[in-house]
Structure 1
């Protein structure tokens, strides 16, 4: 059976290795492995979410809710928007991106991604015949190269993806820049990825009331501690949301994901605590890593930070291997377009795990 041409040309998306694989390959105990590679919440999910999942298990023989009104209202309240400005997706924020592509992309359209950034945008949109055009982040100044965005726009540009805080640099984009891009390009959808906005304590959600070409992506996989439940949501003007609901799968959220999400949003204390501990962990890691000679540590507004290691004598793959042998998982950023082989990314952990990582990291470098 012959696949579509674009499918034959694509490479499969390769996620990070599992803890089980690493434990087996390096003769480690799974429970001793410290994960700093996936930008997760290391303190676990909300206890209220776990209790709700336990109570709901008896109902998994029934189809889930299709309209999700109760959860939509919780998200709208959390985000400070109207119910009609919210769309919810399963498979994390990735389904939201996929529905955006199905709704607004035609074969031959172009979309802009400044490099380095989250590469799944490209992976999803190319499936629908869209062509990526690369702008760039200024790594010397640690900020978006705005002119590279404007220089990349053509008559075929349909979307611009702007991740803020950006993955993997941790950089925020100034709101005035976002406004300028949206205002000057009313026929282009400006997609602002706010997957990590809670850690930055900055949001651009108010812009959806002023610009009908701005779409904000969010996820429950970070601060909200539900990476394993795969829940994402989007915020935009009512017209965009209505179009997307025509395309979105009806039952993309399971019954367990629904109750987990609902009860997480209602657990205000858990959310506040997760943000507080995450920022404390980020600050500790930045302070300690900044004391180590040979590292270029990017300040971050997210739950991760980018580290240049060129002066250490290691490549990213070499350093990541030495660390994983000792039970520490970091992200080798060699696969990120726009970065060379001398960058790693680490994410927050508990302070106890942070301290162990710092000690092991120094040991490897020495």
Structure 2
């Protein structure tokens, strides 16, 4: 360890992107990439052509991008109002902050709330790993509680106990995903009631990365709850994973603070143009939601018929499955073998939290995935 580096960083593991370089080297190029919850559909050709024209004729690469994002913020605010079916517009550009992916916004929220020993965060595992990773890189304590292994609901008794007992520093932020990743379950009435009971000194971050698939949003709560923020992304339903655009919806005072800690010119001009085009063509881009949901239900039905599999109900664009076995193995050797068998047969899925998270792909990809899972299971002992 270099002597000028913080000693605690030696204990951290970096987030490992998928597919990693070793995966790319080990497997032929033609892959079914169902491991990162991206859309299997690229942008429509006509939209790509329009963006290519924008890059060639409008964007000046020698100039810094729009650092205020005002036009994009206004377009996002309009979409947020529409997506919540609000009878009159509630959200404006003052309610929106835009980040280089949701990860940047998460980091900004942590900087604004917990840095310098001001607070800790609470997460219920399994969940999106970047909350904990980003907090630890900033030296912020991470308090974890478990979920029910049958339905993945948060252990609310443990969560409340953690809130009451954690001091020096106290829990300042609670992160939840709605629906949760990697398990796909939405927040329950009991979980929502608990979140609503938290005091105004605790920031509640609700990550709605998969809103377009669940069609369940909590943005309408923000007007009454200034200590709540909602995160969303263009990386999933809007097919812009390569361009890294996320946004936060919150009280104007919270947004003003995020703007203070945001890096200047944090979003490239081309990403801004693509996100604006996505907002202007949202109806076209979201046409893939219905077939994705149909494919999800079809795959859940097929996999649930296998006696060795337990598939969790999902409200997102992925499913989570676990193995049922008479010989429990704490090292998950059988699961790891299944994961490797799928990789060898050119299907990439994510092994995580004692199961496999499988992104819903195209109809052909899903059919191949099902057939490959069946073939791999036939060779495994349970």
TM-score by length of 2: 0.88
Instruction: State the shift of 1:182 in Å.
Output: 3.3
CA distance in 1, matches of 2:10, 2:151: 39
Contact 2:338 2:373 in 1 (8 A): no
Instruction: State the shift of 1:299 in Å.
Output: 0.6
Contact 1:182 1:214 in 2 (8 A): no
Q: 1:236 aligns with which of 250, 258, 266?
A: 250
Contact 2:120 2:171 in 1 (8 A): yes
Instruction: State the shift of 1:17 in Å.
Output: 2.8
Corresponding residue number in structure 1 for 2:347: 328
**Deviation sequence 1:93-130 (CA, Å, 0-9, x none):** 00000111111112332110001101110110112221
CA distance in 2, matches of 1:331, 1:184: 33
Corresponding residue number in structure 1 for 2:88: none
Contact 1:105 1:128 in 2 (8 A): no
CA distance in 1, matches of 2:66, 2:357: 38
Counterparts of residues 201-350 of structure 1 (less than 5 Å): 201-311=215-325, 315-333=334-352, 339-340=353-354, 343-350=355-362
Corresponding residue number in structure 2 for 1:55: 53
CA distance in 1, matches of 2:4, 2:365: 48
Q: 2:32 aligns with which of 20, 31, 34?
A: 34
Contact 1:218 1:232 in 2 (8 A): yes
2:179 matched to 1:177?
A: no
Corresponding residue number in structure 2 for 1:71: 72
Instruction: State the shift of 1:197 in Å.
Output: 1.1
**Deviation sequence 1:120-177 (CA, Å, 0-9, x none):** 1011011222111111221213322222221111341110001110001101103563
Corresponding residue number in structure 1 for 2:85: none
Q: What number of residue pairs does the alignment pair up?
A: 354
Moved over 6 A (4+): none
CA distance in 2, matches of 1:97, 1:23: 29
Instruction: State the shift of 1:353 in Å.
Output: 1.0
Q: 1:139 aligns with which of 125, 128, 149?
A: 149
- Indicate how the Cα distance of structure 1 residues 137 and 54 shifts in structure 2: closer, same or farther if over 3 A, else same: same
Counterparts of residues 154-173 of structure 1 (less than 5 Å): 154-155=166-167, 156-173=170-187
Secondary structure, counterpart of 1:138 in structure 2: coil
- Indicate how the Cα distance of structure 1 residues 74 and 185 shifts in structure 2: closer, same or farther if over 3 A, else same: same
- Indicate how the Cα distance of structure 1 residues 48 and 206 shifts in structure 2: closer, same or farther if over 3 A, else same: farther
Counterparts of residues 350-365 of structure 1 (less than 5 Å): 350-365=362-377
**Deviation sequence 1:219-239 (CA, Å, 0-9, x none):** 111101011101100011011
Secondary structure, counterpart of 1:161 in structure 2: strand
CA distance in 2, matches of 1:364, 1:174: 35
Relative to structure 2, which stretch is displaced further, 1-10 or 322-331? 1-10
RMSD value, Cα:
1.8
Relative to structure 2, which stretch is displaced further, 112-121 or 270-279? 270-279
Instruction: State the shift of 1:179 in Å.
Output: 4.7
Corresponding residue number in structure 2 for 1:99: 108
Contact 1:46 1:225 in 2 (8 A): no
Please, which runs of 5 or more residues in structure 2 have no aligned partner?
A: 82-90, 328-332
Instruction: State the shift of 1:269 in Å.
Output: 2.8
Please, which runs of 5 or more residues in structure 1 have no aligned partner?
A: 334-338
Corresponding residue number in structure 2 for 1:16: 18
Instruction: State the shift of 1:23 in Å.
Output: 5.0
Contact 1:49 1:259 in 2 (8 A): no
Corresponding residue number in structure 2 for 1:336: none
TM-score by length of 1: 0.92
